[in-house]
Amino acid sequence: MIIKDLFKKDIARPIQGVVTIGNEDEEQKWQELEEYVCTDEITKSFRTFFRRYRESITTPTEKMGVWITGFFGSGKSHFVKILGYILENEVVAGIRAAEYFDDKIKDELVLADIRQSAKANNKVVLFNIDSKAKSDSKSKTQAIMDIMLRAFNESVGYCGSSPWVADLERVLDEEGKLEDFVAKFEEISKRSWVQTRAKALLNRDAIIKALVAVRGMTEESAKAFVEDQTRNFTNTTEDFAKIVSKYCQANKARVVFLMDEVGQFIGDNTQLMLNLQTCVEDLGKYCRGQSWVVVTSQQELKAMIDSTKDKQQDFSKIQGRFNTRLLLSGANADEVIKKRILEKKDTAVTPLRALYDANSSKLSNLILFQAKPTWSGYKDADEFKDVYPFVSYQFELLQKVFESIREHGMSEGKHLSQNERSLLDAFQTSAKQIAEMDSGILVPFDDFYQTIEQFIDYDIKTVFSNAERKPSLDRFDIRVLRILFMIKYVKDMPATIDRLATLMVGSINEDKAALKSRIFDALKRLEDETLIQKNGEEYDFLTNA
């Protein structure tokens, strides 16, 4: 069989490389729900979250904060997005979001909590805090509240960019006069209210006239009102909490803020951490469990508090409010990849097992890392079938490569923070490259470089582009150079010729002795070009990173 015919799902189908929030179409939502993999860790997190959320529906509580910690490969952003789909009770491709998990989760108690939580009238406010923030947000002491209020206003149809305009809309709405105001404004100004409200001051006269007509105000009082709002309008966290509480009461609804990358946004800024604490405290006080705040962070809450600059501040309240703390380690990233990308057709299972049985001894000799036996080849025919055309060690090693690149400042920014998606992209891209080849081929580790290249910084890319132009080096030499770069900072993977050969095995029938000889020659040429250096039996990629 050719490689592409082994897979249950089309290996070339589009899979979103990085989790984005907002503007998803129906097909994208369906794929995210249909292909979401509930590992043991995810199921455990669902169990904790939905049990506590379901309890808050009938039992008032001020413990309504959820702190989700996840490093590389954790899938925390994706997890939060899935929570949003479920709580919003969306119908996607004719099926309620919660129903997509009937076959993914075996624990009936967890499923029952999910269903009850989804049936509540939830208003989900889902956003990445950095993308929602204005450029000067971090310099403001109430930045977190401003962003949350802006996102909330947008979610209910009010102006997001101008708080005083949103407040005006809210008052008119409560009076049942918003539609009349909008109609009168558009009649007077000949402009769309929604399209122009963000720059309301440019239409000040039309707003005043519309207020006079709709609210029965005098022109003088309407002018004074607009003048006061534009100059002196402020909101406190208490005001914000009361706004949310009033919405919940009026609509018999619950409001759930799902905020991605809050930890990264706050960093060591004491004022931002205090503002988050006050927001959650006031929402707990006034909403009593009708409003929840769910945030993600690469650091655990205690570590975030310890890293703030002002050690004298009391953050005990935020720890009490964020009573639910979930840790997504990403330890099961390989399970996600196996199910989403590598799952095989029934017709491919027997041929793959037979292929392994006929070549198991050969594979054991080809794929062997003496310094770290757990990074060896396949345990048995079932594992071979599950991961083919890849090799078992590649899941853990590639994850460590992503981590090392980011930790040592060799990536261009925060793209690699979505590591689970980077891994998905890496395995899918490599599988597509060999899709038309016959069974028996194996994916060498350097094939993953094409995904990593998207994230590495300019200086590293320049090293490779210059190397590729050198007449003394051929394509194989560049492949060796790529692997040396990829494993440069990975512990337990010293770059000896034997290990490089194992990493570059590309076929079940590979002649490893011949491969070692080619690698030896390539290393000599790379050393002559001062791209690498030899230290004893090991070779090192030269870089200033």
Query: Using CA atoms, how far apart are residues 222 and 216, in angstroms rounded to an integer?
Result: 9
**Single-letter amino acid, residue 382:** D
Closest by Cα among 269, 266, 275, 332 to 299 = 266
Q: Where are the alpha helices (DSSP H) in 59-162?
A: 76-88, 108-119, 129-132, 143-155
Cα 50 → chain centroid: 20
Contact 137, 147 (CB under 8 A): yes
Residue 223 token pair: 């002018």
Query: Using CA atoms, how far apart are residues 524 and 509, in angstroms rounded to an integer?
Result: 26
Contact 54, 113 (CB under 8 A): yes
Give me the phi and psi of 198, to 5 degrees please.
-65, -25
**Residue 137, pLDDT above cutoff 80:** no
Going from N- to C-terminal start, the domains of the chain cover 40-135+240-328, 157-232, 333-541
**Residue 447, pLDDT above cutoff 90:** yes
Closest by Cα among 451, 477, 486 to 531 = 477
**Residue 420, pLDDT above cutoff 60:** no
317-322: average pLDDT: 88
Q: Which residue has the tokens 């000949």?
A: 190
In a 13 Å sphere around the CA of 8, the CA atoms on its Cβ side amount to: 14
319-342: average pLDDT: 89
Q: What is residue 193's predicted lDDT score, i.e. its pLDDT? A: 98
Q: Which residue has the tokens 């200033």?
A: 544
Q: What is residue 518's predicted lDDT score, i.e. its pLDDT? A: 98
Residue 85: how many CB atoms within 10 A of its CB?
Answer: 22
**Strand, coil or helix: what is 375?**
helix
**Residue 136, pLDDT above cutoff 70:** no
Q: Tens digit of pLDDT for each residue in 262-283?
A: 998 998 899 999 999 999 999 9
Q: What is residue 433's predicted lDDT score, i.e. its pLDDT? A: 95
In a 13 Å sphere around the CA of 118, the CA atoms on its Cβ side amount to: 22
Give the single-character DSSP code of 310.
-
Query: Using CA atoms, how far apart are residues 206 and 191, in angstroms rounded to an integer?
Result: 10
Q: What is residue 545's predicted lDDT score, i.e. its pLDDT? A: 45
Q: Tens digit of pLDDT for each residue in 156-198?
A: 999 999 999 999 999 999 999 999 999 999 999 999 999 999 9
Query: Using CA atoms, how far apart are residues 115 and 105, in angstroms rounded to an integer?
Result: 12
The pTM is what?
0.84
126-133: average pLDDT: 91
Q: What is residue 417's predicted lDDT score, i.e. its pLDDT? A: 47
CATH number for the domain whose boundaries are 40-135+240-328: 3.40.50
Query: Using CA atoms, how far apart are residues 130 and 138, in angstroms rounded to an integer?
Result: 10
In a 13 Å sphere around the CA of 126, the CA atoms on its Cβ side amount to: 21
Cα distance from N-terminal residue to C-terminal residue, the chain? 43
Q: Tens digit of pLDDT for each residue in 484-517?
A: 999 999 988 999 999 999 999 999 999 999 999 9
Q: What is residue 406's predicted lDDT score, i.e. its pLDDT? A: 79
315-324: average pLDDT: 88
Angle, helices 237-251 vs 270-287, to 10°: value is 30
Strands 532-535 and 538-541: antiparallel
CA angle 468, 473, 476 (to 5 degrees): 90
Query: Using CA atoms, how far apart are residues 246 and 258, in angstroms rounded to an integer?
Result: 20
Q: Where are the alpha helices (DSSP H) in 163-298?
A: 163-174, 178-189, 193-196, 204-215, 219-232, 237-251, 262-266, 270-287
Residue 398 token pair: 């590639």
